[in-house]
Chains A and B, each alone.
Chain A
Amino acid sequence: QQPVQSPQAVILREGEDAVINCSSSKALYSVHWYRQKHGEAPVFLMILLKGGEQKGHEKISASFNEKKQQSSLYLTASQLSYSGTYFCGTGGRGEDDYKLSFGAGTTVTVRA
């Protein structure tokens, strides 16, 4: 089962903040965040392994609510380089769900 991301797209001006949400119908072991620029391969941002864990990458951070089976990615003081499509990937806990599945993505456009 693929995770569900929201919103589908967001447009920001430089310096603005945004939140991208990722939720799953299955119990999660891990949440992975990637960014993909047009025509390129997805690039790893961070992985969250524990409920309540928060991590940061430059001014991009994420949280993982294990009980709610949700994760959020926070883009703070956005820069032009943050433009791209953000994907969350999830790893499950069940015997039938050890695979890494990705959501449909959130397209972020940062304008000057």
Chain B
Amino acid sequence: EAGVAQSPRYKIIEKRQSVAFWCNPISGHATLYWYQQILGQGPKLLIQFQNNGVVDDSQLPKDRFSAERLKGVDSTLKIQPAKLEDSAVYLCASSLGQGAYMNTEAFFGQGTRLTVV
């Protein structure tokens, strides 16, 4: 079974530039997550989709971050404009669960390491 695919693996940009990350979840997984993990910290949920609807985006800085999941499959996360504090690993994960409750495991991709200089 193929895992969660993310690209690119690494990205270096200057502040105020824009950047986009791509995620292809495991086939058939209804729920897709984007997490931001700053070095030494736990993953912080940015946005959670179920199919192509948003379950939660309460911690997404909407003035600069946007995400979409077209057709309920792959997803893109965009940052525009980037700030120095956005330097982190951006993890995409997916899980099978269809219902409201978190009752299935999440599978993580390798992540995209973003450095903003």
User: A residues touching B (Cβ–Cβ < 8 Å)?
Assistant: 2, 5, 29-30, 32, 40-44, 47, 49, 87, 89-93, 98-105
6 closest Cβ pairs, A-B complex: A91-B102, A41-B108, A99-B56, A44-B105, A102-B42, A104-B42
Question: For window 46-84 of chain B, which residues contact chain A by CB distance below 8 Å?
Answer: 48, 55-56
Interface residue B43 (Cβ < 8 Å from any Cβ of A) = yes
Interface residue B111 (Cβ < 8 Å from any Cβ of A) = yes
Question: Which chain B residues border A2 with CB–CB below 8 Å?
Answer: 42, 44
A40, B111: Cα distance in complex, Å: 8
A interface, over-half SS = strand
Question: Which chain A residues border B101 with CB–CB below 8 Å?
Answer: 29-30, 91, 93, 98
Contact with A along B88-110 (1 / 0, CB 8 A): 00010001000011111111111
